[in-house]
Structure 1
Amino acid sequence: MDEATPAEGDRATVEWRRVSLDGVPSPVVRRVPHLELKLEHPDLKPTGRANRFFPDAVPYELDGRSRVFYWRPALSASGPLDDWAVACATTHSLAAFDSLPAGVPPLVSPDGDATMVVVDGAVGGDATTARVRSYDPPELRVDAVAESVVELTVAGEVREVPAGERRRFGLAEQRVEPAGDDGETTVAPELVVRYPGRRELYHPEPGTDSRVFPSFGLDLDDLSNPLPVPTAAGELDDAALATAVGVDLSERPYPERALWQAFAYTAFDPHADAAPTLGQLPEGLMVLRDGAFDEQ
């Protein structure tokens, strides 16, 4: 790209744009009960994989507070933007409910004439998948959420999961037709529910293609522009970049290293097609977008 010169030794030069504070999309920051759901089908043979080079959601503790960072957009467009009673994370997306009871967001997805189901997966992360026909999704509902427990209706039965715990509920067997194979097979879906309790949730402003990151102790005022980006074998070296800009990853919570990698590659990849635009909010959060923000 025009903004990156060929590597000189072990560095490439990357230009970036700084946006004024009033032009930075405002990320969602909510302290709400955070529920995690996934519907797995361990009886099936995986035929596909949903890979994420970096996880969508990164949970960790900072200064005694439980937080979860959704650094790129994951929020369902149909949810509320202001009043959240609970946030519900799945292998597919993040949903917000403003009142309960409420039906859970989709845990399977249509795929042509078949249904894509998760064989084994992680909330906000990677998953192995399979395509089946004649699949009947279970009826699921979140009934109530308290500080100490979440209550759900699972296929007509009331289930409780205490805060800080995970439960796996076996569901009724059903006959399905694996796509691409002749005949039927029996599957017994398993609903996995984890209730970490109340968390401080971060998410990019809905309706934008922005990204949001913690500060990592970095002040954009101290970041040179253009930025000499360390490389190894022609690719960005994220650990060396942290050292070069004064970010001590050893002093940060370990899960923030995944966020730093996502930030480094999203913002300063020397092979990117456009210069990134960066803004920093007064509390330190960094907001990033490939290309310029739309000025209001």
Structure 2
Amino acid sequence: MDEANTVDDAVPVEWRQVPPDGVSPPVVQEHPYLELKLEHPGLEPTETGDRFFPDAVPYELDGTSRVFYWRPAVASSTAEPRDWELACGTTHELVGFDSLPAEGPPLVTEGASGTTVVVDGTIGGDVTTSHVGAYVPPAVSIERHVESAVELMVDGTRHDLSPGQRRRIRLGEQRVEPVGTDGRPKTIAPELVVRFPGRRELHHPAPGATYRLFPAFGLDLEALPNPLSVPTTTGELDDLALAAALGVDLSRRPYPERALWQAFAYTAFDPHADATPELTQLATGQIVLETGE
């Protein structure tokens, strides 16, 4: 085996610092935050939508409960964030509602040859899916929100949730036709999983922007070497060693924020990437990464 692939090494990675003038400000707003996912545990998954890092990372920092979306996830049809009355995270996207009552967000994907449904999934994270025909999605609406509760209607039945509550609602059975398998009809009972964390400070790239958004991690881009010497182990970036080299003490940061650090390290400084990353530090300390996508 090649020794260069088995011992620690360091690879110089060039990056470009961009002034913040041309960066659309990210969303940093507090809203009532609801989570909805529609699962179909009776189906065999036919596809896996693995995400190496979750899009949505919930955690608490300095007494504030936040949900950090580092990749763009806001639905294109959603209202302006400043007008949101309630925000809703799903396995598909982040949707903001500027008035209630309102029809719930899409929880399945309709196509010409059938419907793609979630077998098992997490909000803004990994999902397994199945493709079926003759599927009838449930009627879900968000009726109203007050400080003490959110009210939903699911297939004509009312459900109230207080902050911190989670509920799994078993829906009526229906027969569907799996696509791409033996085609035999199958009886399933979808389950709507509802969670209402309460008010959360949402962090998200500006709607319509393509950049990635990250916390400051205590970094000062002005002091960051260029090129940056990126430590590797067996030829791959070592995110823990990179944090140590840059003086980022992950042990003093909320544990879930480590997922954001990994996403930042690999997205910005992967030694195998072809593009030169463009980094901007905003007045808030947040870091914007333009990937060129």
Q: TM-score range by the shorter chain?
A: over 0.9
Q: After TM superposition, give the deviation of residue 291 of structure 1 in Å.
A: 4.1
Q: Is the 8 A contact 1:213 1:259 kept in 2?
A: yes
* 2:99 aligned with 1:102: no
Partner of 1:76: 75
Amino acid corresponding to residue 176 of structure 1 in structure 2:
V
Q: After TM superposition, give the deviation of residue 128 of structure 1 in Å.
A: 1.4
Partner of 1:170: 170
Please show how residues 152-231 of structure 1 align to structure 2 within 5 Å. Answer: 152-179=152-179, 180-231=181-232
Q: Is the 8 A contact 2:35 2:195 kept in 1?
A: yes
* 1:158-185: CA deviation from partner (whole Å, max 9, x where unpaired): 1111110100111111111111223211
Partner of 1:4: none
Partner of 1:3: none
More displaced 10-residue stretch of structure 1: 55-64 or 80-89: 80-89
CA–CA separation in structure 1 for the residues paired with 2:8 and 2:198: 49
SS of 2:58's equivalent in the other structure is: strand
CA gap of 1:151–1:18, structure 2 versus 1, over 3 A, is same
More displaced 10-residue stretch of structure 1: 120-129 or 252-261: 120-129
TM-score of the superposition, structure 2-length normalised? 0.94
Q: Is the 8 A contact 2:37 2:194 kept in 1?
A: yes
CA–CA separation in structure 2 for the residues paired with 1:190 and 1:277: 43
Q: After TM superposition, give the deviation of residue 68 of structure 1 in Å.
A: 0.5
* 1:124-171: CA deviation from partner (whole Å, max 9, x where unpaired): 111111111000001100011122211001001111111101001111
Q: After TM superposition, give the deviation of residue 21 of structure 1 in Å.
A: 2.1
CA gap of 1:270–1:32, structure 2 versus 1, over 3 A, is same
* 1:34-69: CA deviation from partner (whole Å, max 9, x where unpaired): 100000111112222111110010000001110010
CA–CA separation in structure 1 for the residues paired with 2:117 and 2:292: 35
CA–CA separation in structure 2 for the residues paired with 1:157 and 1:29: 34
CA–CA separation in structure 2 for the residues paired with 1:257 and 1:70: 14
CA–CA separation in structure 1 for the residues paired with 2:214 and 2:20: 16
Partner of 2:89: 89
Runs of 4+ in 1 over 4 A off after TM superposition: none
* 2:245 aligned with 1:235: no
CA–CA separation in structure 2 for the residues paired with 1:22 and 1:128: 40
* 2:120 aligned with 1:123: no
Amino acid corresponding to residue 35 of structure 1 in structure 2:
L
* 2:284 aligned with 1:280: no
CA gap of 1:233–1:142, structure 2 versus 1, over 3 A, is same
Partner of 2:34: 35
SS of 2:83's equivalent in the other structure is: coil
More displaced 10-residue stretch of structure 1: 80-89 or 32-41: 80-89
Q: Is the 8 A contact 1:25 1:287 kept in 2?
A: no
Amino acid corresponding to residue 96 of structure 1 in structure 2:
G
CA–CA separation in structure 2 for the residues paired with 1:21 and 1:91: 31
CA–CA separation in structure 1 for the residues paired with 2:103 and 2:196: 17
Q: Is the 8 A contact 2:8 2:231 kept in 1?
A: no
Amino acid corresponding to residue 287 of structure 2 in structure 1:
M
**Equivalent residues, number:** 285
SS of 1:275's equivalent in the other structure is: coil
CA gap of 1:236–1:34, structure 2 versus 1, over 3 A, is same
Q: After TM superposition, give the deviation of residue 273 of structure 1 in Å.
A: 1.4
CA–CA separation in structure 2 for the residues paired with 1:264 and 1:24: 21
Q: After TM superposition, give the deviation of residue 9 of structure 1 in Å.
A: 6.3
Q: Is the 8 A contact 1:31 1:198 kept in 2?
A: yes
Q: Is the 8 A contact 2:46 2:130 kept in 1?
A: yes
CA–CA separation in structure 2 for the residues paired with 1:78 and 1:144: 20
CA–CA separation in structure 1 for the residues paired with 2:112 and 2:269: 37
Q: Is the 8 A contact 2:8 2:234 kept in 1?
A: no
CA–CA separation in structure 1 for the residues paired with 2:292 and 2:222: 20
Runs of 5+ unmatched residues, structure 1: 1-7
TM-score of the superposition, structure 1-length normalised? 0.94
Q: Is the 8 A contact 1:111 1:131 kept in 2?
A: no
CA–CA separation in structure 2 for the residues paired with 1:9 and 1:35: 44
